[in-house]
Amino acid sequence: MIPYGRQSISEEDIAAVVSVMQSPFITQGPEVESFEQAVADHVGCSDAIAVNSATSGLHISCLALGLGPGDLLWTSPISFVASANCARLCGADVDFVDIDSKTLCMSEEALAEKLHHHKAHGLPMPKIVVPVHFAGQSCNMKAIWELGQQFGFRIIEDAAHGLGGSYTPPGKEATPIGRSDFSDICAFSFHPVKSITTAEGGMACTSNKALAERLRRLRTHGITRNTAEMTKPTEGLWYYQMLELGLNYRLSDIHAALGRSQLKRLDAFIERRRVIAKQYDAAFKNLPEGFSTQFVPSYAASARHLYVLRVPAAERSAMLNGLRDEGIGVHVHYIPIHLQPYYQALGFKEGQFPEAERYYSEALSLPYFSRPLRRRPLVRD
């Protein structure tokens, strides 16, 4: 079976992990800070805070921005459930903004229309908006940021798919996803099928120093060892204070070593994915009616996490089963979040976000990863 995604682990990656395992620190040591600095340098943000998953990164990002009971977060219905769950974990409410039918990312037009409608009718307004860089392709962040300035919401980029991609604002040069020019925080995933992997892990990137300090506290039980933050003088080198209720979302040095080693090959990984994308594009150049692929606008250089082929809804199941029978591991990304039983129990119904639902009925994710498949040896008579 050709899987839809697969990690690429080199001998250098293995050596980096073994080196840490033979060192005095396998967690809470120097490798995490080195990995954080390497990611910050790569994307151009001031601070990168390593966590044990992108879900954790989204959760503490919401907490750092003060999201809580009575607040509202808006996100895309086409994403993994973590994009919405991060708000529910804070006790906040969730709503969704439909996707653009071509880019498959949050529609800035739908966002603007919904914001104006809610304001005009006295309906709840979002405290945070979480645009999702679907398949590694940036949303139109400047347009979303301008709406944030107008309507007063904060922005967390869900860039679980996005490391290695870039965004070009009008009249400006391209900037890496993660620099957070048009957001407060940007969260990456290092799951095995993502651009690089730490096995499990994530990163929250920001250029806001106050947010960075709070993110670091929240990932470690709300604890600080920084005397400048303490409520009374330190009692010694061992002393720490818990300033707020946090969590244990730390990344180990073992995982960080793998990530730092992988990061050295990120550009090669992305280039390989883009080569494969061009091959797919060429194969699908003259698609019949009812078939399409994700449109890449001029402002986005996609990290190419997924390659999605849209097929007629009536044919999707038969095509998926047929391809799998042939050993081709096609998949579907994603079931719209508002159709999950948990969210339907909160009042969401089928038909509320028609573009997302239509996309879901037609989507096939094709095999797409940078690691070459090993050819089976020839069987000789």
The domain limits of the chain are 11-265, 267-366
CB 23 within 8 A of CB 29: yes
Q: How far is CA 174 from CA 295, 359, 362, in A?
A: 18, 29, 32
What is the rounded CA–CA span in Å between residue 283 and residue 281? Answer: 5
φ and ψ at 179, to 5 degrees? Answer: -70, -20
334: preceding bond cis by omega (within 30 degrees): yes
Other Cβ atoms less than 10 A from the Cβ of 319: the count is 14
What is the rounded CA–CA span in Å between residue 119 and residue 106? Answer: 20
Torsion, CA 372, CA 102, CA 315, CA 370, rounded to 10: 0
pLDDT in tens, the chain (381 residues): 899 999 999 999 999 999 999 999 999 999 999 999 999 999 999 999 999 999 999 999 999 999 999 999 999 999 999 999 999 999 999 999 999 999 999 999 999 999 999 999 999 999 999 999 999 999 999 999 999 999 999 999 999 999 999 999 999 999 999 999 999 999 999 999 999 999 999 999 999 999 999 999 999 999 999 999 999 999 999 999 999 999 999 999 999 999 999 999 999 999 999 999 999 999 999 999 999 999 999 999 999 999 999 999 999 999 999 999 999 999 999 999 999 999 999 999 999 999 999 999 999 999 999 876 554 443 333
Q: How far is CA 284 from the centre of its chain?
A: 27
Q: Residue 372: its pLDDT value, please?
A: 61
CB 262 within 8 A of CB 252: no
What is the rounded CA–CA span in Å between residue 319 and residue 288? Answer: 15
Strands 307-310 and 363-366: antiparallel
Q: Residue 1: its pLDDT value, please?
A: 87
Structure-block tokens of residue 176: 């890496």
CATH class of 11-265: alpha beta
Continuous H helices in 161-299: 209-218, 253-263, 266-283
Residue 76 CB-half CA count within 13 A:
31
CATH 3.30.70.260 correct for 267-366: no
Question: How large is the angle between the packed helices 30-43 and 253-263, nearest 10 degrees?
Answer: 30
Please count the residues of the chain: 381
